[in-house]
């Protein structure tokens, strides 16, 4: 095995690891490249997980090359911890490999530990043919993979947090809009039932809204739109009076009432 070939393999694996930010896709792509460079037909990633009750289980995190095992992906498996623990090694242990819930019988296994909780297993029914020093050449790759997995997990956690915050903000906004609409309906009903003249103007003196009493005061039939109320008044003195009163009240914080007659 020449040095250039080893470097090309490591370079390819490094590019694969650094080019993906989603954990599931990362594990799948890494397994595919391991199978390509080692001539093993099947690869899987075992992961140790601890639930809220402190129970430890072994989960099949990713599978490539075995359809039966792929159906168990993401599920806990009853496997001996010898598959997960220990150093990198190439072993032929039919009894150990027979514990895998697969329809095939595997005789050879390359174990590549990623970190304390994850291990890659490359499986084969026949002895693999490779000129690579399989138990040694991938050590720097596995160290980089462990770091990439940690970064992917942090990224996914941050993404989930942002999604949860977004959904909560949308929910809060919907509640606020519902409350605002209820308050608007209540105020509208309240002003409609008050017999006094009530109107709303902007700082430029344009009428924005008014109650039915004010509309009836201005016009007896076919009340105009609120924007036209400034030009439709009963007498010339009323526009001046309402305009002066609005200006005088705009700078005063206290309410004021008036009586005619």
Question: Which has the minimum average pLDDT: 55-59, 129-133, 195-199, 242-246?
Answer: 242-246
pLDDT at residue 42 tops 60 = yes
178 located within any domain:
no
pLDDT more than 70, % of the chain: 83
- Clarify whether residues 144 and 36 are in a common domain: yes
The structural domain count of the chain equals: 2
pLDDT confidence tier of residue 206, bands split at 50, 70 and 90: confident
pLDDT at residue 242 tops 70 = no
- Clarify whether residues 135 and 14 are in a common domain: yes
For 95-115, b/e burial (b = at least 16 CB within 10 A) is eebeebebebebebbbbbbbe
- What H or E segment, with its residue span, contains residue 216? helix 212-218
- Clarify whether residues 77 and 128 are in a common domain: yes
pLDDT in tens, 146-199: 999 999 989 989 999 999 999 999 999 999 999 999 998 998 888 888 888 888
Taking a C-beta distance cutoff of 8 angstroms, is the pair 163, 132 a contact?
no
Q: What is the pLDDT of residue 233?
A: 46
Q: What is the pLDDT of residue 207?
A: 78
Taking a C-beta distance cutoff of 8 angstroms, is the pair 114, 85 a contact?
no
- Clarify whether residues 130 and 201 are in a common domain: no
CA 79, distance to chain mean position in Å, is 33
- Clarify whether residues 114 and 53 are in a common domain: yes
Average pLDDT over residues 40-47: 93
CATH of the domain at 105: 3.30.450.40
Average model confidence (pLDDT) for the chain? 83
**Looking at 88, 119, 151, which one is the last position of a domain?**
151
Q: What is the pLDDT of residue 216?
A: 82
- Clarify whether residues 38 and 135 are in a common domain: yes
Q: What is the pLDDT of residue 220?
A: 55
CA 32, distance to chain mean position in Å, is 27
- Clarify whether residues 90 and 208 are in a common domain: no
176 located within any domain:
no
Q: What is the pLDDT of residue 235?
A: 45
Q: What is the pLDDT of residue 188?
A: 87
**Looking at 116, 151, 186, which one is the last position of a domain?**
151
pLDDT in tens, 98-123: 888 888 889 999 999 999 889 999 99
- Clarify whether residues 60 and 134 are in a common domain: yes
- Clarify whether residues 63 and 121 are in a common domain: yes
- What pTM, to 2 d.p., does this model score? 0.65
- Report which of residues 69 and 197 the model is more confident about: 69
Question: Which has the minimum average pLDDT: 70-74, 76-80, 198-202, 246-250?
Answer: 246-250
How many residues are recorded in the chain?
261
115 located within any domain:
yes
Average pLDDT over residues 27-56: 89
Segment of 81-90, 165-174, 207-216, 220-229 carrying the highest mean pLDDT: 165-174
- Clarify whether residues 142 and 242 are in a common domain: no
Phi, then psi, of 243 in degrees rounded to 5: -65, -45
Q: What is the pLDDT of residue 171?
A: 94
Q: What is the pLDDT of residue 112?
A: 94
Q: Which domain holds residue 244?
A: 194-250
């Amino acid at each position: 095995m020449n040095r250039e070939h080893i470097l090309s393999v490591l370079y390819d694996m490094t590019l694969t690891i650094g080019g993906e930010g989603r954990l599931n896709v990362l594990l799948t792509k890494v397994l595919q490249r391991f199978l390509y460079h080692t001539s093993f037909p099947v690869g899987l990633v075992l992961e140790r997980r601890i639930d809220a009750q402190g129970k430890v289980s072994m989960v099949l995190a990713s599978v490539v090359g075995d359809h039966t095992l792929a159906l168990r992906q993401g599920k806990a498996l009853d496997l001996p911890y010898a598959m997960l623990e220990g150093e990198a090694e190439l072993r032929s242990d039919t009894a150990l490999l027979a514990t895998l819930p697969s329809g095939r019988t595997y005789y050879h296994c390359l174990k590549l530990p990623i970190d304390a909780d994850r291990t890659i297993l490359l499986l084969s029914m026949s002895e693999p043919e490779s000129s690579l020093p399989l138990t040694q050449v991938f050590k720097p790759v596995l160290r980089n993979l462990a770091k990439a997995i940690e970064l992917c997990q942090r990224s996914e956690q941050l993404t989930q947090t942002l999604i949860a915050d977004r959904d909560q903000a949308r929910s809060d906004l919907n509640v606020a809009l519902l409350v605002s609409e209820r308050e608007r309906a209540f105020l509208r009903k309240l002003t409609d039932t008050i017999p006094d003249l009530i109107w709303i103007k902007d700082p430029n003196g344009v009428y924005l809204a008014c109650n039915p009493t004010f509309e009836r005061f201005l016009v007896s039939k076919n009340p105009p739109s609120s924007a036209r109320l400034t030009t439709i008044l009963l007498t010339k003195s009323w526009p001046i009076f309402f305009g002066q009163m609005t200006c005088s009240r705009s700078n005063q914080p206290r309410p004021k009432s008036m009586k005619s007659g």
